[in-house]
Amino acid sequence: MGNADLIAVAGGAQAADLLLTDARIVNVFSGEIIESNIAVAGGHIAGIGDYEAERTVSVRGGYVAPGFIDSHVHIESSMTGVSQFARAVVARGTTTVVADPHEIANVLGTDGIAWMLAAAENQLMNIYFTLPSCVPATDMETAGAKLDAQTLMPLLTHERIIALGEMMNFKGVINRVPGVLEKIEGAAAHHKPTDGHAPGLSGKDLAAYLAAGISSDHECTSAREAMEKLRGGMHIMIREGTGAKNLDALLPIVNDSTSARIMWCTDDRHAEDLLAEGHINSLIKRAVKAGINPVTAIRMATINPAAYFGLHRLGAVAPGRRADLVVINDLEDFEVRSVYCAGQPAAERGEVPETALRKDPDTYRSSMHVRRETLDFRVRAGGRSVRVIGVSPGSIITSHLVMPARIEQGEAVSDIERDMIRLAVVERHRATGNIGLGFVSGFGIRSGAIAGSVAHDSHNIIVAGVKDTDLRAAVEAVIGMGGGLAVVKEGHVTASLALPIAGLMSDLSVEEVSEKTAELNRAASELGTELPNPFMSLSFLALPVIPELKLTDLGLFDVGRFAHVSLFSD
């Protein structure tokens, strides 16, 4: 159906395809709840009111809101393929995501972006992308690809790419690095925004970052930080993922004056949390329970991100908008009753019809390139004290600790009584043999090891454990699966999940991934850890753009100094 036909239906000259009756419509423009009907034609809303239609469906007094939009998400972090991710989130009311594929791009480069674009075709939901701006995130690690401005700019013309992705290299922006500025200027020339990523940035450094034209941030961890960025003109994305949880801390910034520039996002959320807690619907529910007006919370999930990204056919129940609709029982629990994508039934009471499922492309190549003979995790003693990465539950920001080393036979080893265990990052893209060695505190592991090929953002293999033999066994298990997660106890693998797609995603169903992830967490807890999501916590220990101390394949990295530092402090 063309635009002329939609106009004809809207004006009453032609019958609609579908009329949803007995609806309580959430109007995100006026803030009203309007009792009326919704006429749908050609996948779009033709009008509100009394219309003739070929098919009529009563929503029985349900509240009808625009389909929810996740303003910033890494699909790869669900560890499912694109199709299974879509199945999980559509059932929970999300009909659009703006995904940053920089995880797979860091492994496979433009081939990874092409795979994601192909997987997004013909899905139930709208899957848009931001173009990864920082591959690699820094030059302080070894990634699988390097995407410069010349490589990226042609991709900005793709209809599914609607922004430049999170600019993590804030130092490069502030220091006016030409290649970094070229990417931002290229996005502006294509009339597309640049998303930000600036944890803790303040004062003149923040002003310099904003002066470059960066317009959003999802890394705020305090209301004070968020308000400074909002006052500077940034759109704030309130994040509640599996590893980083900022919703409670940031809700105080939401009010009548600020809410139009605030959105929800999940960033990184594991499959088990998608199934158990939900997606954007869970953020709305928690916000409303905390006292946020329900329509305001819905606006932050719909019209706000649609306007920010220039998706002018999305985000509202109004004539001309795409008929992406979510029917909910009430404005307190936000239980999703049914979902429509482009006017077609997409989910009913949490279930997506088998006929609506799509298959991901099956063309992906091996991403495990490790010289096994280099797997030596011994740390030769080089001083009396060591720098240790401190981990806190629910945060991806780490602390920079200095602790007395435990020395045995000339080597620095784990000290489980002080919760100080071994950490290593093994390069897996170019078979360089690089291994970064360090220590971490906060996991509580007393025996064995956990390892994974998910290690933001370059996604080398990361492993934490007690003994060298445990570390090697866990890394060998990951390599043997072609990428994945593994728990080792007394030299034996007790739980695992293969991630054959770039070492990041499984080809199993979302339920199977959730079940195996739960098994991994249980197996890790048997090693002594009390972290609720130890693999998510582990995965961020290699990210050298999040304060304070991190480990890459090139060694220990002090984010504040933006330089590698010695493991031994004296």
pLDDT tens digit sequence for 557-570: 999 898 999 999 97
Give which of 426, 479, 531, 407 is closest to 488, Cα–Cα. 479
Alpha helix ranges (H) inside 77-202? 82-90, 102-108, 110-120, 149-152, 170-174, 178-189
Give the full edge-to-edge strand order of the sheet including 399-404: 399-404, 385-390, 435-441, 420-426, 461-465, 449-452, 484-489, 492-498
Cα gap 507→81, rounded to integer Å: 6
pLDDT in tens, 167-203: 999 989 999 999 999 999 999 999 999 999 999 999 9
Question: 405: which DSSP letter?
Answer: P
pLDDT at 172: 92
State the DSSP string of 271-337.
HHHHHHT-SHHHHHHHHHHTT--HHHHHHTTTHHHHHHTT-TTSSSSSTTSB--EEEES-TTT--EE
pLDDT in tens, 109-120: 999 999 999 999
Percent pLDDT > 90 in the chain is: 90
Q: Tell me the domain boundaries of the chain.
A: 68-309+352-356, 372-564
Cα gap 556→563, rounded to integer Å: 9
Residues 68-309+352-356: name the CATH superfamily.
Answer: Metal-dependent hydrolases (3.20.20.140)
Pick 361 or 550 by higher pLDDT.
550
Cβ of 395: how many Cβ atoms within 10 Å?
16
Q: Indicate the pLDDT class of residue 1, thresholds 50, 70 and 90.
A: low
List CB contacts of 207: < 8 A, sequence separation 6 or more: 232
Cα 250 to chain centroid distance, Å, stands at 18
Cα gap 500→193, rounded to integer Å: 33
In which element (H, E) is residue 475 found? helix 468-480
State the DSSP string of 179-247.
HHHHHHHHHHHTT--EEE--TT--HHHHHHHHHTTEEEES---SHHHHHHHHHTTPEEEEEB-SS-B-H
Cα gap 442→426, rounded to integer Å: 21
Cis peptide before 376 (omega within 30 of 0): no
pTM: 0.93
Cα gap 162→101, rounded to integer Å: 13
- C-alpha triplet 201, 273, 62: angle, nearest 5°: 100
Mean pLDDT, to the nearest integer, of 130-145? 92
- In whole angstroms, how far apart are CA 261 and each of 187, 246, 284, 356, 440? 21, 17, 16, 34, 38
End-to-end CA gap in the chain = 72
- When the pLDDT of each residue in the chain is averaged and rounded to a whole number, the result is 95
Cα gap 453→538, rounded to integer Å: 10
pLDDT in tens, 150-171: 999 999 999 999 999 999 999 8
Q: Indicate the pLDDT class of residue 545, thresholds 50, 70 and 90.
A: confident
